Structure 1
Amino acid sequence: MNRAPESRRPHRKQGSDVSIWTDGGTWFGLFLIGSVLLGWGILSLPLGGAVCGSILFVAILLAAVGCGCGWLESISNTPLPTLDRRPRIARVREVVCQWDQPDTTEEEEARRIIVEHLGGDGRTHVAHLGDLIHESSIDRFTPESRWQVYAFADPELATTMVLLTESHDDVRRSGYLITGLHGNTEFSSLQHPAAGSPFLNGKRRFAS
C-alpha cells in the first residue's frame, strides 16, 4: 500500500512509566553530551576560528536531528503493552481535532475520539481512541454511538487509550495516536488515509 509521508509529532502529556529509550530526557542528555564532545574535538583542530565554528554548527545540527529521529523511532517501534483481546463496548463522549493549529491538510482531516468504556476493574473509564479517524468516516462517530474496542490488560492503563477491533475495519483512519504509555509524551503519526486498524493484524507489536 502506498503511503504518504508520515507526519509525526510528540506532545507533552502526563502518563505512566517510561522506558529509558522512549524518554525524551535520555535523548536530550545524549545530545548535550555529544555536543560537548564535538565542541571539544572540533575546537581543538588546527583550523581557523571561522572554519571551526562552521564545522561545529553543522555537527551539532546533525546531532540534534539524529537524536530527535532516534527518539521518535524508539517510540514508534517499542512494543505496546499486552492487549486484552476480549472486545468491550466503548461509547463516544467527544470528537475533537487532533491539532489546534494543523500545519497540513492531513492534520486538519484527522480527528481524535474520546470514549468511555468499562475497565477490567468494573468501573467506567474515559480514554482516547488510538485510531485517528479520517474525516470521511467521522460522521459515524456521533456522541453516544457504541463501538467495539480492545483495552490493555493492565487495569492501570484503562485511562490511556483503547483500539477499535477488527469488526470496524471498514472505518478509514488517518493514522494513530499513542498516549499515556511513555511518560508525559504523547505521540501521533499520520499516514495515507485507509480502512483497517493501524495497530492490529501485525502492524504493531504488543508485549506478550
Structure 2
Amino acid sequence: MSDERPPGHEPETGGVPVHPQPEDRLGSERSLVRATWVVVAVLVAWLLFGFVREPAASGAERSIVAVLACCFAVPLLVTRGWRRTLPALDRTPRRATVTGRVHFAVDPDSDSDVPAFDLIEARVDIDGVQVGTTIADIVAAESLARFAVGSVWDVYAFEDPAELNNDHRTRVILTEAHEDVVRTGYDLGTYVLHQRPGPGSDLLLRRFADDRHARKAAAS
C-alpha cells in the first residue's frame, strides 16, 4: 500500500500529528533563507549583466527581474530581526502566573495567510516586584487549554524588558522545562514570527547578546 500523502499533510502516529522539532524548524528556516538569498543574488547579477551584454536587456526585462528580486528580498529584510543577535536574555528561571489571554484576529477581507492567535498574559516576580508581562511563545490551539488563569509556568526574562517593547507589553519566554508545549511562532513585540506548529522552543536556540559571555563563563 502506498504511503504517499497529499502535500501539506503531516505524518501521523496513532492519530497524533508528528510535529517538527525545534532544531528542524530552525534548520529549515535557515536553509530557506540561504536559498532565497542565492535567488536574489542571481537575479541581481542578471540585472547588472543586462546593462553590458550585447544586445542589452530591454527595459521590460530589467523591470520584471527587478520586481522578482524585490519579491524575494523584501520578506528576508522584514524578518531579518530574527536572524540578528537578540537582546541579552537572563536565563534565570522565574515563575509566571497566567492572568489571561489577548486574542489577535485576522481581517477576513485581507490577503494575509497568518491565522488568528492568542498571546498569554502573566505576572512575573522580577527582583521582588510583580510585573505584568506577555509570554512571547505563540501557543498552538492544541496546547492552549493548559494555560488556564492561575496556572504557573517557568519563564526567562530579558535583561532589559523594554528593549523590544513596542506595544507596552514586556515579553518573557517559556524555558526548556516546557518543551512539550506546541508553538506556532513567537511575538517579541518588535519582531513577530509565525511558523509551522511544533513542540519546543527554537527561539531559545537563536543568538542572544549575552550568549558569548555565558559560553566563556561555562568554559572557565
Taking structure 2 as the reference length, the TM-score comes to 0.59
Q: Residue 80 of structure 2 aligns to which amino acid in structure 1? A: S
Q: Report whether the alignment pairs 1:187 with 2:192.
A: yes
Summarize deviations over 1:136-185 as a string: whole Å, max 9, x none. 111111123221110011254484310011111121111222224xxxxx
Q: How far apart are 1:198 and its partner, in Å?
A: 2.6
- Matches of 2:83 and 2:93 in 1, distance apart? 25
Q: How far apart are 1:70 and its partner, in Å?
A: 3.2
Q: How far apart are 1:63 and its partner, in Å?
A: 4.2
Q: Report whether the alignment pairs 1:92 with 2:109.
A: no
- Matches of 1:70 and 1:165 in 2, distance apart? 28
Of structures 1 and 2, the larger Rg is shown by 2
C-alpha contact (below 8 Å) 1:175/1:188 kept by paired residues: yes
Counterpart residue number, 2:125: 118
Which has more strand, going by share of residues? Answer: 1
The percentage of counterpart residues that share the same residue type is 32
- Matches of 1:46 and 1:170 in 2, distance apart? 60
Residue 180 of structure 2 aligns to a residue whose secondary structure is coil
Taking structure 1 as the reference length, the TM-score comes to 0.62
C-alpha contact (below 8 Å) 1:128/1:161 kept by paired residues: yes
- Matches of 2:173 and 2:74 in 1, distance apart? 27
- Segments of structure 2 that go 5 or more residues without pairing to the other structure are 1-19, 30-43, 211-220
- Segments of structure 1 that go 5 or more residues without pairing to the other structure are 7-33, 181-185
C-alpha contact (below 8 Å) 2:161/2:170 kept by paired residues: no
Change (3 A) 1:59 1:160: farther
**Number of corresponding residues:** 159
Q: Which residue of the other structure, out of 133, 140, 153, is the alignment partner of 2:146?
A: 140
- Matches of 2:143 and 2:85 in 1, distance apart? 28
Residue 136 of structure 1 aligns to a residue whose secondary structure is helix
C-alpha contact (below 8 Å) 2:161/2:171 kept by paired residues: no
Q: Which residue of the other structure, out of 107, 112, 124, is the alignment partner of 2:115?
A: 107
Q: How far apart are 1:78 and its partner, in Å?
A: 0.9
Q: Report whether the alignment pairs 1:57 with 2:63.
A: yes
Counterpart residue number, 2:4: none
RMSD: 3.2
Output aligned runs, 1:152-171, within 5 Å: 152-157=158-163, 159-171=169-181
* Highest RCO, 1 vs 2 (Cα 8 Å, sep ≥ 6): 1
Is 61-70 or 83-92 further displaced after alignment? 61-70
Counterpart residue number, 1:75: 81
- Matches of 1:205 and 1:115 in 2, distance apart? 25
C-alpha contact (below 8 Å) 2:106/2:115 kept by paired residues: no
